[in-house]
Amino acid sequence: MNACKYGAKKVTCLDISEHAIESARDNVALNGFEDRVEFVVDDAFQYLRSQVKGAEERQLRAGGKTDKVDTSKAMTAGIGRTWDVVILDPPAFAKTKSAVKGACRGYKDINLHGMKLVNEGGFLVTASCSYHMRPDLFLETIQEAAADAGKILRLVEWRAAGKDHPQILGVDEGHYLKFAIFEVRSKTAL
Protein backbone atom coordinates (compact mmCIF):
# COMPACT_ATOMS: atom_id res chain seq x y z
CA MET A 1 0.00 0.00 0.00
CA ASN A 2 2.71 2.47 0.94
CA ALA A 3 4.60 1.78 -2.29
CA CYS A 4 1.50 2.73 -4.29
CA LYS A 5 0.76 5.68 -2.03
CA TYR A 6 4.24 7.08 -2.61
CA GLY A 7 4.24 6.68 -6.39
CA ALA A 8 5.15 3.13 -7.40
CA LYS A 9 3.72 2.48 -10.86
CA LYS A 10 3.65 -1.30 -10.38
CA VAL A 11 3.83 -3.45 -7.26
CA THR A 12 4.15 -7.22 -6.95
CA CYS A 13 2.69 -8.57 -3.71
CA LEU A 14 4.01 -12.06 -2.95
CA ASP A 15 3.03 -14.40 -0.13
CA ILE A 16 2.71 -18.15 0.26
CA SER A 17 -0.61 -17.67 2.08
CA GLU A 18 -3.71 -17.38 -0.09
CA HIS A 19 -5.47 -15.79 2.89
CA ALA A 20 -2.77 -13.11 3.22
CA ILE A 21 -3.03 -12.34 -0.50
CA GLU A 22 -6.82 -12.11 -0.30
CA SER A 23 -6.52 -9.67 2.62
CA ALA A 24 -3.98 -7.63 0.65
CA ARG A 25 -6.23 -7.70 -2.42
CA ASP A 26 -9.15 -6.35 -0.34
CA ASN A 27 -6.97 -3.62 1.14
CA VAL A 28 -5.67 -2.59 -2.29
CA ALA A 29 -9.24 -2.44 -3.63
CA LEU A 30 -10.36 -0.29 -0.70
CA ASN A 31 -7.57 2.15 -1.51
CA GLY A 32 -8.14 2.21 -5.27
CA PHE A 33 -4.81 0.75 -6.41
CA GLU A 34 -6.10 -2.39 -8.20
CA ASP A 35 -4.58 -1.37 -11.54
CA ARG A 36 -1.10 -1.08 -10.04
CA VAL A 37 -0.76 -4.26 -7.95
CA GLU A 38 -0.07 -7.80 -9.10
CA PHE A 39 -0.74 -10.58 -6.57
CA VAL A 40 1.29 -13.79 -6.49
CA VAL A 41 0.68 -16.79 -4.24
CA ASP A 42 3.97 -18.67 -4.16
CA ASP A 43 6.87 -19.68 -1.96
CA ALA A 44 9.16 -16.63 -1.82
CA PHE A 45 12.34 -18.69 -2.14
CA GLN A 46 11.09 -20.50 -5.26
CA TYR A 47 9.67 -17.33 -6.80
CA LEU A 48 12.88 -15.34 -6.28
CA ARG A 49 15.02 -18.17 -7.65
CA SER A 50 12.89 -18.46 -10.79
CA GLN A 51 13.04 -14.70 -11.34
CA VAL A 52 16.84 -14.70 -10.91
CA LYS A 53 17.21 -17.62 -13.33
CA GLY A 54 15.08 -15.79 -15.88
CA ALA A 55 16.96 -12.50 -15.39
CA GLU A 56 20.29 -14.28 -15.90
CA GLU A 57 18.96 -15.92 -19.07
CA ARG A 58 17.68 -12.55 -20.31
CA GLN A 59 21.14 -11.02 -19.74
CA LEU A 60 22.83 -13.86 -21.62
CA ARG A 61 20.44 -13.45 -24.54
CA ALA A 62 20.88 -9.67 -24.59
CA GLY A 63 24.66 -10.00 -24.44
CA GLY A 64 24.76 -12.41 -27.36
CA LYS A 65 26.07 -15.23 -25.17
CA THR A 66 23.56 -17.69 -26.54
CA ASP A 67 25.88 -20.70 -26.53
CA LYS A 68 24.69 -21.40 -22.96
CA VAL A 69 21.01 -20.68 -23.67
CA ASP A 70 18.54 -22.53 -25.86
CA THR A 71 17.20 -19.53 -27.79
CA SER A 72 14.82 -21.73 -29.78
CA LYS A 73 12.60 -21.72 -26.70
CA ALA A 74 10.71 -18.59 -25.77
CA MET A 75 11.20 -17.26 -22.28
CA THR A 76 8.33 -17.88 -19.90
CA ALA A 77 6.19 -14.76 -19.53
CA GLY A 78 6.70 -12.97 -16.24
CA ILE A 79 10.01 -14.68 -15.51
CA GLY A 80 13.23 -12.71 -15.26
CA ARG A 81 11.75 -9.50 -13.99
CA THR A 82 13.68 -6.99 -11.93
CA TRP A 83 12.52 -4.16 -9.71
CA ASP A 84 13.72 -0.76 -8.54
CA VAL A 85 12.86 -1.75 -4.97
CA VAL A 86 12.65 -5.25 -3.50
CA ILE A 87 11.12 -5.52 -0.02
CA LEU A 88 11.73 -8.71 1.95
CA ASP A 89 9.80 -9.25 5.17
CA PRO A 90 9.99 -12.97 5.96
CA PRO A 91 8.58 -14.62 9.07
CA ALA A 92 10.90 -15.37 11.98
CA PHE A 93 13.50 -17.91 10.83
CA ALA A 94 15.07 -18.35 14.30
CA LYS A 95 12.52 -18.88 17.03
CA THR A 96 15.12 -20.60 19.21
CA LYS A 97 18.85 -20.13 19.74
CA SER A 98 19.53 -23.52 18.16
CA ALA A 99 17.82 -22.38 14.94
CA VAL A 100 20.22 -19.47 14.29
CA LYS A 101 22.53 -21.39 11.93
CA GLY A 102 19.61 -22.41 9.72
CA ALA A 103 18.18 -18.90 9.95
CA CYS A 104 21.46 -17.47 8.66
CA ARG A 105 21.19 -19.75 5.63
CA GLY A 106 17.59 -18.64 5.07
CA TYR A 107 18.33 -14.93 5.42
CA LYS A 108 21.38 -15.25 3.17
CA ASP A 109 19.41 -17.11 0.50
CA ILE A 110 16.42 -14.79 0.40
CA ASN A 111 18.55 -11.63 0.47
CA LEU A 112 21.01 -12.94 -2.13
CA HIS A 113 18.21 -13.66 -4.60
CA GLY A 114 16.35 -10.49 -3.67
CA MET A 115 19.34 -8.22 -4.32
CA LYS A 116 20.02 -9.94 -7.65
CA LEU A 117 16.57 -8.70 -8.74
CA VAL A 118 17.19 -5.06 -7.80
CA ASN A 119 17.88 -2.78 -10.76
CA GLU A 120 21.27 -1.05 -10.69
CA GLY A 121 21.19 1.70 -8.06
CA GLY A 122 17.86 0.46 -6.71
CA PHE A 123 17.06 -0.54 -3.15
CA LEU A 124 16.82 -3.71 -1.10
CA VAL A 125 14.59 -3.32 1.93
CA THR A 126 14.98 -6.24 4.30
CA ALA A 127 13.84 -7.18 7.77
CA SER A 128 14.22 -9.82 10.45
CA CYS A 129 11.82 -10.39 13.31
CA SER A 130 13.95 -13.16 14.86
CA TYR A 131 15.14 -12.17 18.33
CA HIS A 132 17.96 -14.72 18.23
CA MET A 133 19.29 -13.21 14.99
CA ARG A 134 21.38 -10.44 16.54
CA PRO A 135 21.74 -7.19 14.53
CA ASP A 136 25.46 -7.67 13.84
CA LEU A 137 24.86 -11.24 12.63
CA PHE A 138 21.96 -10.10 10.43
CA LEU A 139 24.15 -7.43 8.78
CA GLU A 140 27.05 -9.88 8.41
CA THR A 141 24.73 -12.41 6.74
CA ILE A 142 23.46 -9.79 4.29
CA GLN A 143 27.04 -8.74 3.52
CA GLU A 144 27.93 -12.37 2.76
CA ALA A 145 24.93 -12.56 0.44
CA ALA A 146 26.09 -9.38 -1.31
CA ALA A 147 29.59 -10.78 -1.80
CA ASP A 148 28.19 -13.99 -3.31
CA ALA A 149 25.81 -11.99 -5.53
CA GLY A 150 28.59 -9.71 -6.78
CA LYS A 151 26.90 -6.67 -5.25
CA ILE A 152 28.03 -3.70 -3.21
CA LEU A 153 25.56 -2.45 -0.61
CA ARG A 154 25.34 1.01 0.87
CA LEU A 155 23.35 1.11 4.10
CA VAL A 156 20.86 3.96 3.73
CA GLU A 157 18.71 3.33 6.80
CA TRP A 158 18.81 1.06 9.86
CA ARG A 159 15.89 0.77 12.24
CA ALA A 160 14.50 -1.31 15.04
CA ALA A 161 10.95 -1.62 16.33
CA GLY A 162 8.79 1.47 16.01
CA LYS A 163 6.66 3.22 18.60
CA ASP A 164 3.90 0.66 18.10
CA HIS A 165 6.27 -2.04 19.45
CA PRO A 166 7.34 -0.64 22.84
CA GLN A 167 10.44 -2.18 24.35
CA ILE A 168 10.63 -2.85 28.06
CA LEU A 169 14.01 -2.25 29.65
CA GLY A 170 15.54 -5.49 30.87
CA VAL A 171 13.45 -7.63 28.49
CA ASP A 172 15.87 -8.30 25.66
CA GLU A 173 13.30 -10.30 23.69
CA GLY A 174 11.62 -6.97 22.89
CA HIS A 175 14.60 -6.07 20.71
CA TYR A 176 13.71 -8.54 17.98
CA LEU A 177 12.96 -6.35 14.97
CA LYS A 178 15.71 -5.33 12.55
CA PHE A 179 15.04 -3.33 9.38
CA ALA A 180 17.50 -2.09 6.78
CA ILE A 181 17.42 -0.24 3.48
CA PHE A 182 20.40 -0.76 1.17
CA GLU A 183 21.28 0.84 -2.14
CA VAL A 184 22.40 -1.99 -4.44
CA ARG A 185 25.16 -1.69 -7.04
CA SER A 186 26.96 -4.33 -9.07
CA LYS A 187 30.67 -4.76 -8.50
CA THR A 188 31.11 -4.84 -12.28
CA ALA A 189 29.34 -1.47 -12.71
CA LEU A 190 31.94 0.39 -10.63
Catalytic residues: 129
Residues 127 and 88: beta-carbon distance below 8 Å: yes
Between β-strands 151-159 and 11-15, what pairing exists: parallel, antiparallel or unpaired? unpaired
Residues 108 and 48: beta-carbon distance below 8 Å: no
Helix (H) or strand (E) holding 128: strand 118-128
- Dmax of the chain from CA atoms? 63
Helix (H) or strand (E) holding 185: strand 178-186
